[in-house]
Structure 1
Amino acid sequence: MALTTIRQWKHVFKLDPDKPISDDALDALCLSGTDAIVIGGSSGVTFDNTVDLMSRVRRYEVSCVLEVSGLHAIAPGFDLYLIPVVLNADSVDWVIGQHHQAVKEYGSFVPWESVAAEAYVILNPDCTAGRLTGASSGLSAKDVAAYAKLAERLYRFPVFYMEYSGMFGDMDMVRRARGELKEARLFYGGGINSEERAREALEAGADTIVVGNVIYESLEKALATVNAVKMG
């Protein structure tokens, strides 16, 4: 079920439980036509603020998805659970360590049919997630293309996620990664703060555009990205 759903996504909004959002703004996002609302963040995420945001999103028909960033924030009730595996992290903890611990503690409760792993490559080492995971910097297009090939052909990940978090990325690098993928869904996140940038990422080969920071900077610009992707 999880993979079938993910393959239909072209646009998702990503909300941070640690950032306040008004009811009116949330209403606009959930009714915008986006394919999913993904809840997750790299700092300040707790069980309480995750469940609170989920309960607010759950009033709408849009898919409500948890991107698991830590054991403390795992909560039941989501439609899907995305599990990041940071391929360019400097510690095995972000590749399999925390995942092993989660399964050891909660394995009997995991709704496996609603779980999908994401092969993450963090390309902005200065972002919070980059600092937290010690993501290697200075990756070349060849490096990223190799990660894409490994993710799909060796590890069989359903999602390859290029995360630039906070900055607009190198679209040539996106094209190189796209060229290595035949089945995995290419997610792109980072710096999508206008219709033009959403279209650029889509034209470069991203299957799914993830829009996050601009939600808290300009709701109008965030909403405009939906039509840009859907009509593109």
Structure 2
Amino acid sequence: MFPEWKNWRHVVKLDPDKPADQYLIEQVVESGTDAIIVGGTQNITREKVLKLYKLLKPYPLPKILEVSTIDSVTFGFDGYLIPVVLNSGQPKWLIGAHKEAVKMAGELMDWKEVLPEGYIILNPDCAAAKLTKAMYPLSREDVLAYAHCGENLFSLPLIYIEYSGKFGDPELVSYIKNSLTNAKVFYGGGIDDAQKAEIMSKAADTIVVGNMIYTESIRNLRDTVKVAK
């Protein structure tokens, strides 16, 4: 069963392609964050995911794998996020890759452990945008339309506004959140201190911090948790 996630306010995303040791994991776990997502875009392999999972396994915090490639799927996580890139220019990232994953998993697929998420990628320079051929630029109305499609056409429970390495527009994020009825809004991108975390935690339901974990900004991690909660 996918963990109860709707009340999460702060999540840390760890990239399997970036270095991590026990000390880094302890800093993340002891920060007070609600959950850990393991996911990335480049050079993600099952071996790297498994190595990170083994570091995380002893801790009771929810451990979620965001599935970016079929080959990276590793069993043992508490849940699996399946990205659907709503503004992708390629059908592969809307349904194609997902069909192949389901076909490969067959009867091993436990749908109770799976949560689909509707991505809207708003940083054209990030790796995810380039990989998925994300449509850009988008007007405010375009972004809202994608979010409504995710919530109302596809019944996605989660809309993920992704700026990936760049701090986004809190007014836009807030506008999207307030315009949706049931779907929760996750925000990720450019949060590396308490001020940015506080701004985005007011705009989104949940903030996701990632890159700061691998820089000196990790010293601000606890503060980002405090203001988010």
Is 1:210 the counterpart of 2:215? The answer is no
Give the distance between the partners of 2:22 and 2:135, measured in 1 at CA: 38
Deviation track 1:104-143 (CA, whole Å, cap 9, x = no partner) reads 1113111210100000000001101011001111111111
| CA-based RMSD | 1.0
Report sequence identity in percent: 45
Give the distance between the partners of 1:178 and 1:191, measured in 2 at CA: 19
Give the distance between the partners of 2:106 and 2:124, measured in 1 at CA: 31
Q: How does 1:44-123 map to 2 (within 5 A)?
A: 44-123=43-122
Aligned counterpart, 1:19: 18
TM-score under structure 1 length normalisation: 0.95
Q: How does 1:1-232 map to 2 (within 5 A)?
A: 1-2=1-2, 5-204=4-203, 206-217=204-215, 218-230=217-229
Cα offset, 1:150, TM superposition = 1.3
**Secondary structure of residue in 1 paired with 2:116:** strand
Cα offset, 1:194, TM superposition = 0.8
Bigger shift: 218-227 or 42-51?
A: 218-227
Give the distance between the partners of 1:134 and 1:6, measured in 2 at CA: 29
The answer to whether the Cα contact below 8 Å between 2:85 and 2:121 also exists between their aligned partners in 1 is yes
**Secondary structure of residue in 1 paired with 2:43:** coil
Cα offset, 1:161, TM superposition = 0.4
**Secondary structure of residue in 2 paired with 1:75:** coil
Give the distance between the partners of 1:63 and 1:188, measured in 2 at CA: 19
Cα offset, 1:149, TM superposition = 1.2
**Secondary structure of residue in 1 paired with 2:12:** strand
Give the distance between the partners of 1:222 and 1:134, measured in 2 at CA: 32
**Secondary structure of residue in 2 paired with 1:88:** coil
Deviation track 1:134-169 (CA, whole Å, cap 9, x = no partner) reads 111111111111111111112110100000001000
Bigger shift: 148-157 or 79-88?
A: 148-157
Runs of 4+ in 1 over 3 A off after TM superposition: none
- Paired amino acid for 2:22: D
How many residues are aligned here?
A: 228
Cα offset, 1:172, TM superposition = 1.7
The answer to whether the Cα contact below 8 Å between 2:14 and 2:37 also exists between their aligned partners in 1 is yes
Cα offset, 1:8, TM superposition = 2.0
- Paired amino acid for 1:75: T
Give the distance between the partners of 1:179 and 1:208, measured in 2 at CA: 14
**Secondary structure of residue in 2 paired with 1:119:** strand
Deviation track 1:8-63 (CA, whole Å, cap 9, x = no partner) reads 21110000001002211111101221111100100011000101101111111101
Deviation track 1:43-96 (CA, whole Å, cap 9, x = no partner) reads 011000101101111111101100000001001000010000001111000000
| Gap regions ≥5 residues in structure 1 | none
Give the distance between the partners of 1:128 and 1:222, measured in 2 at CA: 24
**Secondary structure of residue in 2 paired with 1:34:** coil
| Gap regions ≥5 residues in structure 2 | none
